[in-house]
Amino acid sequence: MRKLGNKILAAYSFFVLAFLYIPIFSMIVFSFNDSRLTAVWRGFTLKWYIALVNGSELWGAFYNTILVAVIVTLMSIALGTAAAMAMTRYRFRGKGAFDAYLYIPIIIPEITEALSLLLLYVWAGVPLGLTTIILGHLTFAIPFAALVIRSRMVGFDRSVEEAAQSMGANEIQTFFRVTLPIISTGVIAGGLLAFTQSYDDFIKTAFTRGPGVNMLPTTIYNLARRGGASPQLNALATVALSISIVMAILWQKFSTRK
């Protein structure tokens, strides 16, 4: 009976994984299809990737997406590290409430948060653009980065900092020469997670980008809505997926490193 249960569980797991990954694998394969019809294989080609390189609109969307993701990553690292140090080292009034608020952007539905941001921008008269996208992405990227960095700082031996200060180093020198190198794996992992969250985000981007601002997730959606599945769209989605996979692998590598 136990063997039968294991076989059923294995079969169920196989079908679930096949349901999730076969469409992705098919998309990657047909991005190299020489035919415009995704249902017909006409041979191997790279012309759809060459078309992506020559497409100025797609390059503009890619540039905006990378720019926003890099800015969000750097700001998330700085503010996330500060929040992680404050939560692990100091006691202050409202610490429990601050700790709870740190989880709210992760817990609440993203579409609710995106709509509330849009209403705030409209109420405050803030013009939509790259700045509003960056602010929207920061609302959930900072908590993700802070939680990862905070987990790295648990059990941090502060005697090494005291030793550095006893030898004449000030607080800034101690942080950059002692503290930061020790927690660097957590900082890098938090930054990679923040980059991936910003790079892949569609809902907040769609609500806060404004007219005329092209981003990679919304560009992929618009191409799919206008023309359906196409080899060029498959190529674009494959490139976006490849960058996400690389970031996820790097995040896993640094998040498990001591």
In whole angstroms, give the CA distance from residue 49 to residue 32. Answer: 8
Name the E strands within the chain. Answer: none
Residue 24 falls inside a structural domain:
no
In whole angstroms, give the CA distance from residue 56 to residue 194. Answer: 27
What is the per-residue pLDDT for 77?
93
In whole angstroms, give the CA distance from residue 181 to residue 197. Answer: 24
What is the per-residue pLDDT for 253?
72
What is the per-residue pLDDT for 69?
92
pLDDT digits (tens, 9 = 90+) for 234-245: 787 788 788 778
What is the per-residue pLDDT for 158?
78
**Around 74, how many Cα atoms within 13 Å sit in the side-chain half-sphere?**
6
Which residues span the domain enclosing 188? 56-255
Q: Do the beta carbons of residue 189 and residue 251 sit within 8 Å? A: yes
Looking at residue 158, the DSSP 8-state letter turns out to be T
The separation between CA 151 and the C-alpha centre of its own chain, rounded to angstroms, equals: 19
Characterize 6-33 residue by residue with b for buried, 16 or more Cβ atoms within 10 angstroms of its Cβ, and e for exposed: eeeeeeeeeeeeeeeeeeeeebeebbbb
Residue 245 falls inside a structural domain:
yes
Residue 66 falls inside a structural domain:
yes
pLDDT digits (tens, 9 = 90+) for 211-220: 888 888 888 7
Residue 250 has pLDDT above 80, yes or no: no
- For the chain, the domain total comes to 1
What is the per-residue pLDDT for 140?
85
Q: Do the beta carbons of residue 234 and residue 28 sit within 8 Å? A: yes
Residue 241 falls inside a structural domain:
yes
What is the per-residue pLDDT for 75?
94
Residue 50 falls inside a structural domain:
no
Overall average pLDDT of the 75-85 stretch: 91
* Residue 200: CATH number of its domain: 1.10.3720.10
Residue 10 falls inside a structural domain:
no
pLDDT digits (tens, 9 = 90+) for 91-106: 778 777 777 777 788 8
Residue 5 has pLDDT above 90, yes or no: no
What is the per-residue pLDDT for 76?
93
Residue 35 falls inside a structural domain:
no
Residue 11 falls inside a structural domain:
no
In whole angstroms, give the CA distance from residue 72 to residue 75. Answer: 5
The separation between CA 96 and the C-alpha centre of its own chain, rounded to angstroms, equals: 27
Residue 113 has pLDDT above 90, yes or no: no
User: Closest Cα to residue 74, out of 175, 211, 188, 208?
Assistant: 188
What is the per-residue pLDDT for 185?
84
223 confidence band (pLDDT: 50, 70, 90): confident
* Distances, alpha carbon 196 to alpha carbons 11, 82, 121, 139, in Å: 32, 21, 25, 14
